[in-house]
Structure 1
Amino acid sequence: MRNELFTKEKERQLSLYPRIEKIEVKYTGKSHPGSVFVMNKALSTPYNCAMHLSEWHCKKSVLALVDGEVWDMYRPLTKSCEIQFLTFKDEDPEEVNKAYWRSCAMIMASVLKRAFKDEYSVNLVKAPEVPVISGAFCYDIILDNRLNDWKPTKDNFRSLTRDASKLIDKDLPFETLHVEAKVAREMFQNNKYKMEIIDQKASQNKEGIVVLHRFGDFVDVSEGPHIPRTSFCFQYEITAAHNLQTSQSELIWRFQGVSLPIHLKAHHTVWHKLLERSKRLVTEEKSAKAAAESHEAKDETEGIGGRCMDKRDYKIKKNLLLISFSFLLNSYQV
């Protein structure tokens, strides 16, 4: 039902533009600066703009900056604007990293929702916003209380990972939809945790708008932005499940995983280290501390910390800190 309601609302919003209106989109990136594209209002997306530039822009662009706002590649443009594109190998990939981790967590949520079939109930709670340097993306769920004593095995995680790989191989696009809170509530009326998130998100803007994302037939409440397609994931594994001690009567499971994108493949020995690290319980508190430390280290490489390094050490350390997923390697403790 949720998927059908998403489609219905998307079609309704498109019907608000019965006549195609044109907008001008000015590209402000390094290549082809000043290029102007005439696009269709509420229909054309940043990806359509990338198609006017090159195949490289289509394949490498993870997010767009639209008038300075971070934007999904498949989110329609609604007015004339300036645009540039963000990739995994930008000097500062922070927003791209966040989007990737967020999307990996959403893929995992889709897998978990289906994994237990109809035999056991699964309630999706939330995807904690944790930085890449935390070592794992996460999604919190509540399982049927008959599974409270369940101890997931390696085979269980392998099975979950296989299901995720199937979704990744389907090359599914992440779609964005901004809806009124009442529409979101109708979609998630049977999930009290999502209803709480919807009310919270709606209260944060005067229009009461909630942002939804979909890939395939899976819909979730997520501000985004997300990566363009599931195929941007390359190495991907679901690695751990921890019981969280909370004041709630229901037991919350935090599932964790790790992934590297197609543009940043790692040697198998490095990947093994990342897998082991991703099994440690990730908490918001630890993640905040790790993120703060990484920013301090980044400042240090830029001369703010005042410690002297020769040019070679400076270049190595700066690359470790600024090239997307080397954050994980830089923080890995042998």
Structure 2
Amino acid sequence: MIKITLKDGSVRDVEKGSSVFDVAKAISGRLAKEAVVGEVNGELVDLSFELNEDVDLNILKFDDEKGRDTFRHSTAHIMARAVKNLYPNTKLAIGPSIENGFYYDFEVEKNFTPEDLEKIEKEMKNIISAKEKFERFELPRQEALDLVKKMKEDYKEELINDLPEDAIISFYRHGDFVDLCAGPHVHEIKFIKAFKLLSATGAYWRGDENNKMLQRIYGTCFPKANMLETHLAKLEDAKKRDHNKLGRELQIFNTNENIGQGLPLLLPKGAKIVQILQRFVEDEEERRGYELTKTPLMAKSDLYKISGHWQLYKDGMFVLGDEEVDKEVFGLRPMTCPFQIMVYKNTQKSYRDLPKRYNETSTLFRNESSGEMHGLIRVRQFTISEGHLMVTPEQLEDEFKGVVSLINYFMDTLGIHEDITYQFSKWDPNKSEKYIGTPEQWESAQDQMRTILDHLEIDYVEAEGEAAFYGPKLDIQFKNVHGKEDTIITVQIDFALAEKFDMTYIDSNGEKKHPYIIHRTSIGCYERTLAMLIEKYAGKFPAWLAPVQVKMLPIADRHLDYTYELKKEFEKHGIRVEIDARLESVGYKIREARLERNPYMLVIGDNEVEQKNISVRSRDKGELGAMSVEDFIKDLVEEIETKAILLQD
């Protein structure tokens, strides 16, 4: 007998050689039915794994993250087998689990169509009906290579060659299908009951645009049909909220192939929202002691060589000129820090002058790869609420806290504070060539940031290798409607650039010292924030942000004079108004106005003209009926000035 210590601390005596599944069955029939994978001494194993010594055992279900990953990855294998059954000349690449599903990459003779996905789904159901098991086996390196060569699986051969010499090379078999895989997998194929293939798209092998373009099939899966139905309903809602679709429908932004990828056109409504946000941010930052700067959009390579951007970030920049030919080579700026550093250096500073807080609404340029472009979220030219604080060591924590307070104020006002998460991004000491500074400087800066974050009492996760090249950072994350997480705001502690640029201040002892620099955005990239707001509110912007706050619908031509009088009165109070004066029925106009999702709609007819009042419909509260013009203006102005966020219907 051996002793098994379970997650709750209880200990069970089981017969040596028992499988993880045997233990689950001994605990309860329900656990055996719901078990997906085991975790033995912290390592994931198949449920068929035999226990031959005393161990700590955790039995994971679909409810557990690692259980879901295993379930999804197993479904990816079923899909790969179905594809090979239907299209035998297909070559297999990789098929990992991802959040909310899985994908598998294939080299195929022709791209998959929606009809192909239906056929693959049907074949997957046939495979599952056979009720086979996943069987693991291991091979020495040469035998593993011989096997995948015999199978003509070129990508698997490349993967094996990339493994360390001492790596365990494992495969999984179900039926006559064999795939290279580290595992683990579900106990039996029949557990996979509810799945859906969602789309097929192109994907470069290993994400490198220099490699072959493969076909990637995305799918999702659940142990119960009702769970799948709920998830698919959420996906439909996500499609409706997708800023790339909705933003175009609402005439907020567009793109043009003659302008280029990653260079969106903000249409008048989108430009108005961004203008409102920029004014809001700049006014609030001024109230908090920031000084506004305006710096060039480009600089000579000399500036970027001092900062290190030229050496470490040049591939991500747009470079104007050829270093081998031209006397001067310029780069469009990917960030503003070197420029605001030069603003600081304009005069010698004393410790009494610090902290110095500079802010700028900065247009930046980054040479993103074509495969990374997506709507307003990832673009090549964008505008950011950038800022830099030059502080003494004693001021670092309070100023960092002040930056986070400012960010949280903006997130609260936008109504998205509950949707964000915090990530402490650190350097990767194994890739020190990516960074400037010494290991001692990095550890010191990271310790200081961790202490500050702990004092702020915010929940954060740590992510190695995600730091900026000059210092650790706090990344504020937001998930789009499809579940993909993007960084919207960063706060960075920089210990290196002050020394590189010979930035100094005179301390209380009359000695020159280098300040710390806090790099920060406060509301992030305006384009990305706009995308986030479109999806958050499904286009139903709060009144203070709405590009059109009131849509006026005169019923007939005889009502136009009164309607235009009202428009002038509203505009005196800063209210943004549009009139639909088209010769269309009022019912048609109302339907069109609802699709535009403006906060308020006013229908103007004979009664309104005679009574000198208005009939009001609120997007968020429904029909408000007849109101005096004065009361409506008073209520709306208060709603705008307080930046109220009403419940959406």
> How high is the TM-score relative to the length of structure 2?
0.36
CA distance in 2, matches of 1:179, 1:216: 19
- The residue aligned with 1:313 is none
Which SS does the other structure have where 2:421 is aligned?
helix
1:47-86 per-residue CA deviation (whole Å, 9 max, x = no partner) reads 1222332212211111112122221112333544232311
Larger fraction in strand: 2
Residue 139 to residue 218, structure 1, CA distance change in 2 (3 Å):
same
Which SS does the other structure have where 2:82 is aligned?
helix
Q: Does 1:305 align with 2:486?
A: no
CA distance in 1, matches of 2:162, 2:126: 33
- The residue aligned with 2:176 is 217
Trace 1:29-108 onto structure 2 (pairs within 5 A). Answer: 29-30=7-8, 33-40=10-17, 44-89=18-63, 93-108=64-79
Q: Which amino acid aligns with 2:210?
A: S
CA distance in 2, matches of 1:226, 1:285: 34
Residue 277 to residue 74, structure 1, CA distance change in 2 (3 Å):
farther
Of structures 1 and 2, the one with the larger relative CO (CA 8 A, separation 6+) is 1
- The residue aligned with 1:226 is 185
Shift, 1:194, TM fit: 0.5
- The residue aligned with 1:140 is 105
- The residue aligned with 2:92 is 124
- The residue aligned with 1:200 is 162
Shift, 1:202, TM fit: 4.2
Q: Which amino acid aligns with 1:131?
A: I
The answer for unaligned runs of 5 or more in structure 1 is 1-22, 308-326
Which SS does the other structure have where 1:173 is aligned?
coil
Contact kept, 8 Å, 2:113 with 2:200, in 1: the verdict is no
- The residue aligned with 1:14 is none
CA distance in 2, matches of 1:142, 1:237: 21
Shift, 1:195, TM fit: 0.9
Trace 1:238-253 onto structure 2 (pairs within 5 A). Answer: 238-245=197-204, 246-248=209-211, 250-253=212-215
Which SS does the other structure have where 2:103 is aligned?
strand
CA distance in 2, matches of 1:55, 1:175: 23
CA distance in 1, matches of 2:238, 2:124: 20
The answer for unaligned runs of 5 or more in structure 2 is 243-370, 378-417, 425-455, 461-478, 485-534, 539-649
- The residue aligned with 1:170 is 130
Q: Which amino acid aligns with 1:274?
A: L
Once superposed, which parts of structure 1, at least 4 consecutive aligned residues long, lie more than 6 Å away? 275-278, 283-286, 327-330
CA distance in 2, matches of 1:26, 1:277: 44
1:139-192 per-residue CA deviation (whole Å, 9 max, x = no partner) reads 111112xx2xx4x44332111111112222333222222332122112211222
Shift, 1:284, TM fit: 10
Contact kept, 8 Å, 1:178 with 1:210, in 2: the verdict is yes
Q: Which amino acid aligns with 2:51?
A: L
Q: Which amino acid aligns with 2:421?
A: E
CA distance in 1, matches of 2:423, 2:130: 37
Shift, 1:295, TM fit: 9.6
Identity of matched residues, %: 20
Contact kept, 8 Å, 1:73 with 1:227, in 2: the verdict is yes
Q: Which amino acid aligns with 1:201?
A: L
Q: Which amino acid aligns with 1:141?
A: F
Contact kept, 8 Å, 2:194 with 2:228, in 1: the verdict is no
Larger radius of gyration: 2
1:187-232 per-residue CA deviation (whole Å, 9 max, x = no partner) reads 21122210111122343xx3x4212222222211111222222222
Q: Does 1:191 align with 2:153?
A: yes
- The residue aligned with 2:421 is 296
Which SS does the other structure have where 2:227 is aligned?
coil
- The residue aligned with 2:362 is none
Trace 1:308-319 onto structure 2 (pairs within 5 A). Answer: none
CA distance in 2, matches of 1:168, 1:274: 25
| Residue correspondences, number | 259
- The residue aligned with 1:110 is 81
Residue 103 to residue 284, structure 1, CA distance change in 2 (3 Å):
farther
CA distance in 2, matches of 1:209, 1:222: 10
CA distance in 1, matches of 2:228, 2:85: 31
Residue 210 to residue 78, structure 1, CA distance change in 2 (3 Å):
farther
- The residue aligned with 2:590 is none
Residue 62 to residue 295, structure 1, CA distance change in 2 (3 Å):
farther
Q: Does 1:258 align with 2:225?
A: no
Q: Which amino acid aligns with 2:203?
A: L
Which SS does the other structure have where 2:126 is aligned?
helix
Trace 1:251-290 onto structure 2 (pairs within 5 A). Answer: 251-262=213-224, 265-266=226-227, 268=229, 270-274=231-235
Q: Which amino acid aligns with 1:101?
A: R
Contact kept, 8 Å, 1:241 with 1:255, in 2: the verdict is yes
Shift, 1:261, TM fit: 1.9
Q: Which amino acid aligns with 1:247?
A: N
Residue 276 to residue 243, structure 1, CA distance change in 2 (3 Å):
farther
Shift, 1:331, TM fit: 3.7
Contact kept, 8 Å, 1:74 with 1:174, in 2: the verdict is no
Residue 267 to residue 197, structure 1, CA distance change in 2 (3 Å):
closer
Which SS does the other structure have where 2:27 is aligned?
coil
RMSD over aligned CA atoms reads 3.7
Residue 275 to residue 184, structure 1, CA distance change in 2 (3 Å):
farther
Residue 175 to residue 136, structure 1, CA distance change in 2 (3 Å):
same
Shift, 1:244, TM fit: 2.5
Contact kept, 8 Å, 1:177 with 1:211, in 2: the verdict is yes
Which SS does the other structure have where 1:296 is aligned?
strand
Residue 178 to residue 81, structure 1, CA distance change in 2 (3 Å):
farther
Q: Which amino acid aligns with 2:47?
A: M
Residue 211 to residue 275, structure 1, CA distance change in 2 (3 Å):
farther
Residue 304 to residue 82, structure 1, CA distance change in 2 (3 Å):
same
Contact kept, 8 Å, 2:76 with 2:97, in 1: the verdict is no
